[in-house]
Structure 1
Amino acid sequence: MLPPLKPDSPRLADVLRSCLGAVAASDNALGFSAVQKAIVVVIDGLGHMQLKAHSGHARFLAPASKPLVSGFPTTTASALASLATGASAGTHGIVGYDAFVPGVGVRNQLRDWGADMDPVAHQRSQPLWRDGCAVVSEAKHRSSGFTAAILRGAEYIGHDRLSNRVEAASEAARTHDVTYLYLPELDRLGHSGGVASDAWVSKLEEIDGLLADLAAANPDAGIAVTADHGMVDVPEDKHVLLDADDVPQLDGLAGEPRGRQLRLRDPAAAEAVAEELSDALGKTAWVASREELVDSGALGRVDPEVLPRLGDVFILSRGRHAHYFDEQDAARGMIGQHGSMTDDELLVPLIRLGAWRTGR
């Protein structure tokens, strides 16, 4: 049994579309008022729950934070594709960190782009960017396949230093209708040290101060701060180890430790395998067949072309657990993780600043 969805909640996929609507002085899902300029800030890995838990270290951002639903799977590739296109994973087709690509194999959706995974064809929804949009991100991502898949149509401005990116976004907002600022630093520190680490907290404080400066420099712009997903710290004693003997039908593995997707030799066995795994894993995971997951609506409307990219069985970690099929899996070195359906992962902040700040 999967956890209940939040079908009526505002979603990450609404953010960019609503910003574009506000610049066009049209109605939008998030009710943003009409503005001439808008700035969208994505703080990778900063969930609403983590922001509230560390509110004393984010005194500018935390008081204004309201929960927004990221979408499933709670992983960067899927979430940023939803932000950029306004579509769910079942439509745009980026369905995991590692995903099954029919006729090709398992491919990482952030890095493994090439002739056998064309960005324009594999990411199936047209990005919302248009003339007058700017993207400010790290310079190294400028020519990546993932950038082509979700950011095509916007002017790309690359800066590697965090403070330089924030300054560049402020400058871009003077000449662009909508500016998108991407901050990946917090996510990296969460993976390596956890969301309770000194380094993570220190970086949150730095980002809080920089975004206060951004808002002060752009008082008439509408500013929406959000994130792609939240994060759960997974201690080593919560690592659940499985092997091929536990799933004799196993023919391939995708996803990530908190959001595993299993390909079976016989897809017709999915219901039986899911039931067996659910009994074996107990309260450490929600286990569902592909049919159950699709029927739940977690992926939104799933287009027929996207179905073959999904695993036959999903293992979605609960609590602070993560699930591994290899004792030597390098991912066991990560502390902060995501990919499942807990509120810690699904809920991200929506922080309205500048012209959209409440009570202005």
Structure 2
Amino acid sequence: MSTMVPARDPSAWSLADVLPSCVAALRGVENRLGFAPARQVIVLIVDGLGSSALKQRAGYARTLAAAATPLFSGFPTTTASSIATITTGVLPGEHGLVGYSVLDPEHDRVVKQLSGWDSRMDPATWQRVPTIFERVTAEKSTETSAGSDGSPGQNIRAFAIGPSRYAHSGLTKAILRGAEYRSAESVEARFEAAGAVLREAAPSLSYLYVPELDVAGHKYGWESPQWSAALELVDSQLRTLVSGLKRDQAVVVTADHGMVDINPAKHVLYGHRPELVEGVRHFAGEPRCLQLHFEPGLDDAARSRLVAAWHESEDARSWVVTRDEAIEAGWFGPVDASVRPRIGDLLVAARKGIAYYADADVRGRGMVGQHGSWSAEETQVPLARFGAFA
């Protein structure tokens, strides 16, 4: 292999640490991120906001940029995987959402994790672990949930605030179960809904989701005026929210992944090359990180030829690794035996500013901003603390 395979640093903070640390703070106990005790916590997820892009557009987000430090997102850098990591506190190898589109081995098909849920893929079992919301609402708080006057503690309530179109989706049922979903359409309405939770007396953990930056980034690129305008709106709403925090209220801001802008001239078409596709049963993943699933009956010699062909073709611009190599390097964290078949036999993760497509007519080639791979622009996201956590 001509390039060094990136490896996850198991000691580094990641998105998996955010909600468990928030819950510990609500319990009044020590936690990995060092959050101080609090009575109410809001976790704002700004979809698609990388640390690099935030730094370069800091003038549009003075409140957020001034407080942000980098955090490792986890891999792959795609929404379904990363948000599941946030809401479960474990990495994809355990929760099971290992890509944008993944193999459903039982039914021999590739399924999109954002929108492809149906009766053959149960959100309650496909996402394998209880969410933080399920755990926190099932337990009685006996620590900082107690009132300042020494009155008995209360249960911690869990809320998810986002657009109504996501309220009943399969992904929501998989990764937000245990939280009460409150719909609000605009960015402003969602921040107001979060403020309303803070005005309630009960201890609470709230997940506040803002997809607008990611939408603008995919359509126009993160370097576009549209993306900057979306960032400016989020920052203004954040400034208003945190300015009214009480001493025992906290806001944490992070993101699921960053983004790179890909010029269409950098699209790599592979479907016309038999040495790269013959013997591949399914192509999963996404354009910045292909996951190839080989034909079940493919013999060792044919598998070796396929792997060698991808190495020869793509080593100069991508990390080409087998499933075993990716797992050994910790790409997905600890991998449960039931999750292993969902990961491709071979992964092709873009190292340079490229994206892979089977042919010129593939839907989605109009996307400008993309993500999914290992670049710092994709894997480094902000972590900002306000109120009791500042």
TM-score (norm 2): 0.89
Counterpart residue number, 1:235: 263
The alignment partner of 1:179 has SS state of strand
Does the 8 Å contact 2:7/2:331 carry over to 1? no
Aligned position for 1:251: 281
Counterparts of 1:194-343 in structure 2, within 5 Å, are 194-220=221-247, 221-243=249-271, 244-247=273-276, 248-265=278-295, 266=298, 268=300, 269-343=302-376
Classify the secondary structure of the residue corresponding to 2:321: strand
2:193 pairs with one of 124, 149, 168: 168
- SS in structure 2 opposite 1:10? coil
Which residues of structure 1 form unaligned runs of 5+? none
SS in 2 for 1:103: helix
CA displacement 1:81-104 (0-9 Å, x = unmatched): 010100110000001111001122
Alignment-derived partner of residue 184 in structure 1: 211
* Deviations 1:182-236, CA, capped at 9 Å, x for gaps: 0000000000000000100111111111101110122431111000000010001
CA distance in 1, matches of 2:170, 2:244: 33
Separation in 2, partners of 1:215, 1:126:
30
Query: Partner letter of residue 254 of structure 1?
Result: A
Distance 1:114 1:280 in 2: 37
Over the matched positions of the two proteins, sequence identity in percent amounts to 41
Q: 3-state DSSP class of the match of 1:182? A: strand
* Residue 10 of structure 2 corresponds to residue 7 of structure 1: yes
How far residue 276 of structure 1 moved from its aligned partner, in angstroms, is: 2.2
Equivalent position of 1:77 in the other structure: 80
Distance in 2 (alpha carbons) for counterparts of 1:173 and 1:285: 46
Rounded to whole Å, the distance in 2 between the matches of 1:21 and 1:15 is: 10
Call closer, same or farther: CA 1:271–1:169 in 2, change over 3 Å.
Answer: farther
**Structure 1 residues 118-197: aligned runs within 5 Å:** 118-129=122-133, 130-131=136-137, 132-175=157-200, 176-197=203-224
What is the distance in 1 between the residues matched to 2:182 and 2:116? 23
Alpha-carbon distance, 1:173 to partner:
2.4
In the alignment, is the contact (CA less than 8 A) between 1:271 and 1:289 conserved in 2?
Answer: no
Counterpart position of 2:120: 116
- Which amino acid is the alignment partner of residue 350 of structure 1? L
- Scaled by the length of structure 1, what TM-score is found? 0.96
Task: Give distance in 1, aligned partners of 2:275 and 2:31.
Answer: 48
AA aligned to 1:245 is P
Deviation at 1:272, TM superposition (A): 4.2
1:275, distance to aligned residue in structure 2 (A): 3.0
Q: Which amino acid aligns with 1:255?
A: G
Say if 1:35 and 1:291 are closer, same or farther in 2 by CA, change over 3 A: same
Is 1:37 aligned with 2:31? no
Q: Secondary structure at the match of 1:60?
A: helix
8 Å Cα contact 1:88/1:301 also seen in 2:
yes
Cα offsets for 1:234-259 (capped at 9, x unmatched): 00121111115132222111110001
More moved, 113-122 vs 268-277 = 268-277
> What is the one-letter code of the residue matched to 2:228?
V
The C-alpha deviation readout for 1:255-289, integer Å capped at 9, x for no partner, is 10001101112274545423321221232211111
Q: Runs of 4+ in structure 1 displaced over 6 angstroms? A: none
8 Å CA contact 2:45–2:208 kept in 1: the answer is: yes
Between the aligned partners of 1:302 and 1:267, the Cα distance in structure 2 is 25
Using the TM superposition, give the Cα deviation of residue 141 of structure 1 relative to its aligned residue in structure 2, in angstroms.
1.0
Deviation at 1:353, TM superposition (A): 1.0
Matched residue SS, 2:253: strand
**Residues of 1 paired with 2:193 and 2:303: CA distance?**
49
Write the distance in 2 (CA, Å) between the matches of 1:353 and 1:278.
Answer: 46
CA distance in 1, matches of 2:72, 2:100: 18
Output the CA distance in 2 between the equivalents of 1:223 and 1:112.
Answer: 32
Residues 29-73 of structure 1: CA deviation (Å, up to 9, x unaligned)? 101000111110000000111111111111111121111111111
